[in-house]
Amino acid sequence: MFEHEYRNRINKVIKAIIRDPSGDWNTQVLAGLAGISAFHFHRIFRALTGETMLSFVQRRRLLRAIELINEGKFTLTEIALEAGFDSGSSLSRAFRKYLGCSPSEYHKHHSSPLLPPPHPSSSGREKMQVEIREAPSRDALIVERKGLVDQNFNQAAAEAFRALTGEIKRVNGWSAVRERIGMCPDEATMAPDAEARYQAGFFCEGELPAMSDEVQRVTVPGGRWAVSIHQGSYETLWQSWNRLYRDWLPASGLVLRDAAPFEIYLSNIKTTPPDELLTEIWIPIA
């Protein structure tokens, strides 16, 4: 699948939302409309547009609300429901979050409407080094925490790994532990940042003593994977994810597999400077 085809598929989704911003949009509907696996749809959308799917839908709903406010014919509740918000209060919260004012203040001062973010430039893109690997299915121990802040899960990851390593130490299970990994299951949803989950984990082999209920054992499926290395702070990991989905994948002609991507952390964060941290990004391909 080449770049123009990815863009055409995402444009199809964008046009549908613009036509009906109040629609009951969810991941399954939007991914199906684009013909892209739900595991990857949100990352591709963000890589090509510069914003998350949830943010785009909210912005389009706000623009529709602004149109109705400017007409001056409707109550706040009528405007909210027509634009796709649950209530007048949820519309007011969205106005304060994105525009810094209430709907009535906007109407009084005629604030400028929201503008779309700048389109990612295609110039000056660096060539990414990507390796195609075959890997068997592997078991992993994971602990979840919530909270995406400034496009990273640093705080949630630190809390989740602290809980997980504490349990492994408690049962003396380090002999069964392998690579340190991270997964973000809500990349495939429209969850708000505060509710987005981060899964801290270790690949593991063999049996382990019983741990607390919050430690889950999951299976990461085997198959072909496109693997690239990000060097630098975890706060900039999203940039490498974007480049993979926006630049490398469309040019590769490869097709995504219906499985969740993940990260493997190669460096010891306690002894490695942030700009020298190495992280492998694994994306499943057919």
What one-letter code names the amino acid at 44? I
* Rounded Cα–Cα distance for residues 22 and 54 (Å): 13
Structural domain ending residue among the three candidates 77, 109, 141 = 109
> Is residue 121 domain-resident?
no
Question: Are 135 and 35 members of one domain?
Answer: no
The answer to whether residue 8 sits within a structural domain is yes
Residue predicted with more confidence, 196 or 133: 133
- Tens-place pLDDT, residues 83-109: 888 898 888 888 887 777 888 777 776
Residue 189: its pLDDT value, please? 62
Output the CA–CA distances (angstroms, integers) from residue 166 to 156, 160, 219, 262, 283, in the order listed. Answer: 15, 10, 21, 22, 29
> Which tens digit of pLDDT belongs to each residue from 111-150?
444 434 444 444 444 568 999 999 999 999 999 999 887 7
Q: Which residues of 123-139 are buried (b: 16+ CB within 10 A; e: fewer)?
A: eeeeebebeeeeeeebb
Q: Is residue 125 part of a domain?
A: no
pLDDT tens per residue, range 205-251: 988 888 999 999 999 999 999 999 999 999 888 889 988 988 898 88
Average pLDDT for 273-278: 93
Same domain for 141 and 266?
yes
Q: Are residues 159 and 270 in the same domain?
A: yes
Q: Does 77 map to a domain?
A: yes
Residue 48 phi, psi dihedral angles, 5° rounding: -85, -25
Domain boundary among 51, 78, 109: 109
Residue 47 lies in a domain: yes
Residues 52 and 94 in one domain: yes
- 88: CATH: 1.10.10.60
Q: Kindly give the pairing relationship between strand 278-285 and strand 262-265.
A: antiparallel
CATH of the domain at 201: 3.20.80.10
Do residue 18 and residue 67 come from a single domain?
yes
Domain with 14, as residue range(s), is 3-109
- Per-residue confidence (pLDDT) for residue 123, from 0 to 100: 42
For the chain, how many structural domains are there in total? Answer: 2
59-89 pLDDT, tens digit per residue, is 888 888 888 888 888 889 999 998 888 898 8
H runs (alpha helix) in the chain: 3-19, 27-34, 38-49, 53-71, 76-83, 88-99, 103-109, 154-170, 237-243, 249-252
Whether the CB-CB separation of 65 and 71 falls below 8 Å is answered with no
In a domain, 120, yes or no: no
Q: Is residue 123 part of a domain?
A: no
Integer Cα distance of 166 and 209 in angstroms: 14
Concatenating the DSSP letter of every residue in 242-279 gives HHIIIIIHHHHT--B-SS--EEEE-S-TTTS-GGG-EE
49, 140: one domain = no
Q: For the chain, what percent of residues have pLDDT higher than 70?
A: 90
Distances in Å between the alpha carbon of 150 and those of 49, 211, 223? 17, 32, 32
Q: Are 97 and 150 in a shared domain? A: no
Q: Give the residue from 44, 79, 109 where a domain finishes.
A: 109
- Confirm whether 50 is domain-assigned: yes
**Other CB atoms within 10 Å distance of the CB of residue 90:** 12
144-155 pLDDT per residue, tens:
999 887 767 888
135 and 92 in a single domain? The answer is no
**Is residue 113 a contact partner of residue 63, using CB atoms and an 8 Å limit?**
yes
Q: Are residues 75 and 189 in the same domain?
A: no
Q: Does residue 187 share a domain with residue 65?
A: no
Q: Are residues 169 and 259 in the same domain?
A: yes
- Tens-digit pLDDT profile for residues 162-189: 999 999 999 999 999 999 999 988 765 6
User: Is the domain of 104 the same as that of 134?
Assistant: no
